Amino acid sequence: MASQESLPLRRLKAFQPLNRLTDDQLVLLASRAERRAHGPGQRVLERGVRDGLDYFLVSGKVELESMDGRKSVIEAETEQALNPIARLQPRMYDVTAVKPCEFLVVEQDVLNQLLRAAPVAQVEMDSGESQGEGESEEHHLLMKFYAELRSNQLKLPSVPDVAWKVRRLVDRDDTTADQVASAVSADPAMAAKLVRACNSPLYRGFSDVRNVRETVVRLGMRTTRQLVTVFSMREVFKSRHPSLQREMEKLWRHSREVAALCWVLADHATRLNPEEALLAGLLHDIGVVPVLVQAEHHVNLFADDTNLHSAISELRADVGTAVLESWSFPPTFVEAVRHAEDWGYEAGKQSLSWWMSLLWRNFTP
């Protein structure tokens, strides 16, 4: 069922990235958008479809099911519903209405055009003066990034192969330790790191483990999955340009420091799983990686550190969310990445995003 009734501007501004548009742009968007309703049990979106549309959940509840059968639920007016539902195309999830649902449906091309014309907050120079003409070039590039992100043209990093295989295996209920060990052993360097970690004081038992299977049994499936992902992340932080590789190195060091703090806090002060907290810390700035990779094609502009860090600040949350969604990470990790450096964000106590925002407030120079 479809309706042409428009949502109030206040409601439109609750969605991302609609909150970047001006009131006039939102009025224009509303005139081009469509309202669609679905009853319980009705299929809203199908995996593998590329339709060029964004679905914003206005009311109700939906269930997302990935290719490997993993399911999650998103309810309207929650953090998970701020972004378009299953926005990457082709769709990576089947989406089914759990309760009566209503969606605002927008053509991606229309939204991209509006985002390219949307104002960007000016970056202030040390002297207090704005960048003037330079800001328009930065604005153009930022809007190009947004358009490429929303139309799936921005190249996102791939989760390393061994980490992807192990995550897929552990998410299945019938997986054995032998199967996980076989997947890890396909990467000898990863196998050596995992065995070494298991024999460290943190996980050591009465005797050292001698092979990958014993390691998986001692660590457990969940910890094995998290550690394999952690160990494989180093390969993501790469750039072919020397100056940008230096930025990647700084980003990697910062991510490791935050990850270590997350582990300590989770282990001593919360009920969170320390390995999950460590992984969230390591991934909290994953959205910066594609920005730095894309900057390789705009070296003259990004030779100015002010422009580079402004683009990172603007894009890190949206791109990080897209990266983890493309890697099929659970919503808790996506939420933690989106709000990791949001000083004013208030999340549920003991959630990953709550601890990430706490870390940012207390450990940022």
Are 166 and 106 in a shared domain?
Answer: no
Specify the number of domains making up the chain: 2
Are 187 and 332 in a shared domain?
Answer: yes
Domain boundary among 84, 116, 148: 116
**72 dihedral zone (left: phi>0; alpha: psi -120 to 50; beta):** beta
Of 149 and 295, the structure prediction assigns the larger pLDDT to 295
Cα–Cα dist 53/41, whole Å: 21
Q: pLDDT band at residue 134, thresholds of 50, 70 and 90?
A: very low
Of 215 and 113, the structure prediction assigns the larger pLDDT to 215
Is residue 42 one of the residues assigned to a domain? yes
Residues 300-331 have pLDDT tens digits of 656 667 777 777 887 888 888 888 887 878 88
pLDDT averaged over the chain? 80
Which CATH number is 250's domain given?
A: 1.10.3210.10
Are 224 and 279 in a shared domain?
Answer: yes
Is residue 129 one of the residues assigned to a domain? no
Are 225 and 336 in a shared domain?
Answer: yes
Cα–Cα dist 24/240, whole Å: 42
pLDDT at 247: 86
Cα–Cα dist 161/266, whole Å: 28
User: 67: domain range?
Assistant: 2-116
Is residue 231 one of the residues assigned to a domain? yes
Cα–Cα dist 181/196, whole Å: 14
Cα–Cα dist 331/352, whole Å: 10
Are 111 and 226 in a shared domain?
Answer: no
Can you state the angle between helices 212-219 and 177-185, rounded to 10 degrees? Answer: 130
Q: Quick check: 273 and 266 in contact, CB under 8 A? A: yes
pLDDT at 358: 53
pLDDT surpasses 50 at 361: no
Are 311 and 177 in a shared domain?
Answer: yes
Cα–Cα dist 191/164, whole Å: 15
Domain boundary among 116, 136, 169: 116
Element (H, E) at 107: strand 101-107
Range with the poorest average pLDDT among 55-64, 91-100, 196-205, 217-226 = 196-205
Mean pLDDT value of segment 162-170: 87
Are 263 and 358 in a shared domain?
Answer: yes
Mean pLDDT value of segment 106-125: 70
Residues 238-280 have pLDDT tens digits of 887 787 788 899 999 999 988 888 888 888 877 778 888 888 8
Is residue 156 one of the residues assigned to a domain? no
Mean pLDDT value of segment 273-292: 87
pLDDT at 32: 87
pLDDT surpasses 50 at 51: yes
Separation of CA 50 from chain center = 21
Mean pLDDT value of segment 135-143: 58
Is residue 146 one of the residues assigned to a domain? no
Mean pLDDT value of segment 276-289: 88
Cα–Cα dist 224/226, whole Å: 6
Which CATH number is 7's domain given?
A: 2.60.120.10
Residues 185-221 have pLDDT tens digits of 998 989 999 999 999 888 877 788 889 999 999 999 9
Q: pLDDT band at residue 130, thresholds of 50, 70 and 90?
A: very low
Is residue 152 one of the residues assigned to a domain? no
pLDDT surpasses 90 at 137: no
Is residue 337 one of the residues assigned to a domain? yes
For CA atoms 347, 352, 358, 361, give the dihedral sign.
negative
